Amino acid sequence: MKKSDIQRIASAAAAHGPVILDRWLPGGKRQGKEYLVRNPHRDDGSVGSLSVEIATGRGGDFATGEVFGDFVGCVAFALQCGMSEAAEAVAEFIRLPPASTPAPAGPATSPKKTQVDDWSCIMPIPSDAPAAPKAHSKHGKPSTVYPYINEAGEPTGFVYRWDAAPPEHPKKEFAPLTLWRNSAGRMEWRFKHWPPPRPLYWPEFRADVPVIMHEGEKSVMAGRRLLPDFMHACWPSGANAVGKADLRSLEGREVWLWPDHDAPGRGAMVKLAALLRKTGARSVHFINVLLFERLTVNGAGHIINRVAQLPDGWDAADAQEEGWNAESMDHFLHNEDALLERIDGDAEELLEAATDDEPEEGRQSPYVLDEQEGLFYTETEKDGRVRQMRLCGPLSVPALARDDDGGSWGAVIEFRDRDGKRRREVVAYRLFLGDSTDGIKTLVDMGLETGTSRSCLDRLRTYIISAKPSRRARLVDQPGWHDRAFVLPDASIGETDETLLYRGNKRALSAYTTRGTLGEWQTNIAFKANNNPRLMFCLAVAFSGPLLKVIGAASAVFHWYGDSSIGKSGALVAAGSVWGPAEGQVHSWRSTDNALESVAALHNHCVLILDELKEVDPKIASAIVYMLINARGKGRAHHAGGLREQVSWHISGMSSGELGMSDLLAGVGQKHHAGQMVRFIEIAADAGAGYGMWNDVGGLVEGGKAFTDTLKKMAGRYHGTAGRAFVAELCKRLDAIPQQWRAHDLRFSEDYKPTNAGGQVQRVLGAFSLVAFAGELATEWGIVPWARGQASQAAGMLFEEWLKERPTKGNSEDAQIVAHVRGVLERTWQSKFVDWHRTTEEKPDLSRMAAVHDSLGFRKRDVPFDELNPAYYFYITRSRFAEEFATKGGFKAKRVAALLKQKGVLRCDADGTTLRETLPNGDPRAYCIIGSKLWNLE
């Protein structure tokens, strides 16, 4: 089309300016003589940078430097087409016949554009270029300058960014700054875009790693911190300009795309994926933003379930601000669905953001949340003026929470405390009822900044009570397993139908904190367990707690006994570092049984560690052990009648002390029962290598003490990461673990089960086997730097040491019964038995018989009787047998008699355990113990 025809159409179009603007640049607004609208080719947050004179069609975008001189040029800009094509479209729209003469070959340009054809963009920037301007004529000095460089590191231009700073700067602004030169050699900087194809932005070019593409320079900078092992890049001018990017540098590269969480962001990445595949990228994948819909991080950087909705436009910069870091992102990428091949079709539906409930039609909420400034209440006064009252800092109610029984309802409240730390708290609704400000006071105690007037507090209370989010969360009172999810005070790991929030003992918050990385813990603590089987065993015990419920094993406690200052406390601190700091993980025996109930519940499905057994009151020690291994607290009355729900737990445990439990109880005349001994398993702490508990102290000149001190110091610096990593791996394999356990336990039993092992020995063997299994899993999953089989060898060695200290391979209670019966006879065989033969003589020695006070029965010589090796039958009356040989030893009389008969020690009738033979006192039956056989029992 001839230039004169284009000018004719443009002149005619001036009379139709408003409708042309509404047709090709809809959604704008009038401001004086100008029409302001979003640039359709940039990711503008609001109108402002693109303006058009309504009368003439002259205008442009000052941010990009693109200008046009009339309505045909305006339409050409809108359609991104040539002037002839735009003129034809305008002529048809205003029903003006187009020129009949054909247009000359070649692209037509507007008169305005002809004026700059003499200038060309220079890349890279030469060394003799003039200094770049430090400020923009309208926006002033930028908040941030992003220098663009090529693959060789040479500068190609800049993008200036101005952050929003109301009221002067109501929204963020961007402007590219490029260098131009004309045919005369003159160079000047212009706030104008590079001509297509436009260069990519990257802080550094790396040819040997995958590339992650973002939408915006700020996201690129955040991505470098979140995923430092990748190259990060973006194209200039946002979602609508992706087609103008120069992608040739990504040919043959592995590329990941991180979409912004909105429709334009997803659309841009879908388009970019197609362009990259056409360019020849080796592979293209999308980071699955859906996972960020479900997951977030807490203040310590640990991944937890997200309660709040993911905001529109959420990107890598928001992730960094939320608290994601390199370690948590590494865990994120280990999810099987962290990367997608497509996000169009069904996959794109998965990425759609969940929307909050829409307000009722026609109703406008008076509450306005500004993420930076806070929560406001807006009201219109009688004179029509609108007044805003600031209620508090930024605060939202993303979900409602209740317990398993559908009670204890509360609001899940997210806010930032006075230190700027993100907090998520559940506050019971009952604290907001009536005129009560208890709920607000609770939030203030947690660091929420609020107004002070009564009207302000009342409106804040109403906002929280009236919030109706669609999401629900479930409150849990204990750490550990809840269905298929493992709950810690600040996180939930594994599968769950709804968000789980911990509301239990606040002490747990400090008990499970983390410090350092898993790699640092491995290097400074777990690695030291190599060549130190006792330390390896302690760490494996700490890993075994989460397995108890999964495989159906019982609680057990391993007790290290031995002299002071040989490393026992250091071993316990190291074991505690699997889950948290020593002050939260290692507890003292110096507690009441009531106090230890709450401590045990605090470590449910984890590890309970108690130091210094001598500090417990021996009179309650036995009851505490039974309570711990039976996994249930006392029943207590409820104030409304009936019983309160009992506290319960399921723990692996460790203890230490200079004495064993048997010695402690013996000091107060009590007995360590066999049922306790197989669940409270005592192991000698001294390894016998001259270093206390340690076999290898790593060449430390000071020996075992220095090694112990180092362990404690390192546990203070690095803790809490290993347990979480173990549980995360366990959650991925829950269904397969029971079968894997059975196969391991069978192998371990084949290797270490002694012949003729009693049931109690087998139960203890099972406890050692579980610890070995935990250690082997931690090895297999890369949680600890050990060789396969080492954990099993350490557990097997310690089981064999335990077995050597045991008087029998059979049941411990059998040995205790035999020892008790021997003990009674050793003390009484002369003083408490009447000689049978003296009662049958023609002249019985009545004075001798009368001297036997509190007699147990009669003593009868074996036949033939040897004066040098006397042997006797001891006839014991039934009542005295039950009292002395059973009850006082803590046994049942039938159990004692049955065992003695089984071992051939009782002379009795075939169908019972007593002997029908009339005693000198006329008693027709008695228990008859064969002395020689009793003494010869092993």
Residue pair 848/842 in contact (Cβ under 8 Å)? The answer is: no
Q: What pLDDT, on the 0 to 100 scale, is given for residue 634?
A: 53
Same domain, 601 and 466: no
Same domain, 601 and 698: yes
pTM above 0.95, yes or no: no
Same domain, 262 and 285: yes
Q: What pLDDT, on the 0 to 100 scale, is given for residue 334?
A: 84
How many helices and strands in the chain, by DSSP H and E? Answer: 34, 39
Q: What is the DSSP letter of 410?
A: E
Name residues of the chain where pLDDT drops below 70.
Answer: 43-48, 62-63, 97-117, 166-170, 299-301, 307-308, 343-364, 381-384, 386, 592-593, 631-646, 666-676, 807-812, 841-851, 865, 867-868, 938
Q: Counting Cβ atoms within 10 Å, is residue 785 exposed (0-12), middle (13-18) or buried (19+)?
A: middle
Tokens of 824: 């009674």
Per the structure, the count of domains in the chain is 6
Dmax over Cα atoms in the chain, in whole Å? 159
The residue among 734, 753, 786 that closes a domain is 734
Collapsed DSSP state (helix, strand, coil) of residue 536: helix
What is the C-alpha separation between 485 and 478, in angstroms, rounded? 12
Q: What does R_g of the chain's alpha carbons equal in angstroms?
A: 41
* 61-76: b (≥16 Cβ within 10 Å) or e: bbbbbbbbbbbbbbbb
Q: What pLDDT, on the 0 to 100 scale, is given for residue 636?
A: 42
Q: How far is CA 101 from the centre of its chain?
A: 73
**What backbone torsions phi and psi does residue 515 show, to the nearest 5 degrees?**
-150, 135
Q: What pLDDT, on the 0 to 100 scale, is given for residue 359?
A: 38
The CA distances from residue 26 to 36, 39, 75, 76, 624, in Å, are 10, 10, 12, 15, 77
Residues 6+ apart with CB under 8 A from 910: none
CATH label of the domain that carries residue 336: 3.40.1360.10
Same domain, 579 and 721: yes
Could you tell me the residue range of the domain that residue 9 belongs to?
3-114
Residue 52 half-sphere exposure toward CB, CA atoms < 13 A:
30
Same domain, 101 and 163: no
Same domain, 310 and 225: yes
Cis-peptide, bond into residue 124, ω within 30° of zero: yes
What is the C-alpha separation between 818 and 813, in angstroms, rounded? 9
Bridge partners for 876 per DSSP: 857, 927
Tokens of 698: 């790593």
- pLDDT tens for 776-812 read 999 999 999 999 999 999 999 999 999 888 755 555 6
Tokens of 463: 């906002």
The residue among 135, 160, 190 that closes a domain is 190
Same domain, 619 and 686: yes
Bridge partners for 53 per DSSP: 34
Same domain, 249 and 151: no
Residue 667 within a domain: yes
Residue 791 within a domain: no
Dihedral over Cα of 206, 209, 213, 214: its sign: negative
Same domain, 223 and 180: no
Same domain, 186 and 43: no
Same domain, 339 and 384: no
Residue 318 within a domain: yes
Collapsed DSSP state (helix, strand, coil) of residue 724: helix
The residue among 317, 350, 383 that closes a domain is 350
CATH label of the domain that carries residue 719: 3.40.50
Residue 328 within a domain: yes
Residue 205 within a domain: no
CATH label of the domain that carries residue 38: 3.90.580.10
Tokens of 123: 């890349």
Looking at this protein, which amino acid is placed at residue 586? Answer: V
Same domain, 459 and 578: no
Residue 495 within a domain: no
Residue 508 within a domain: no
Residue 775 within a domain: no
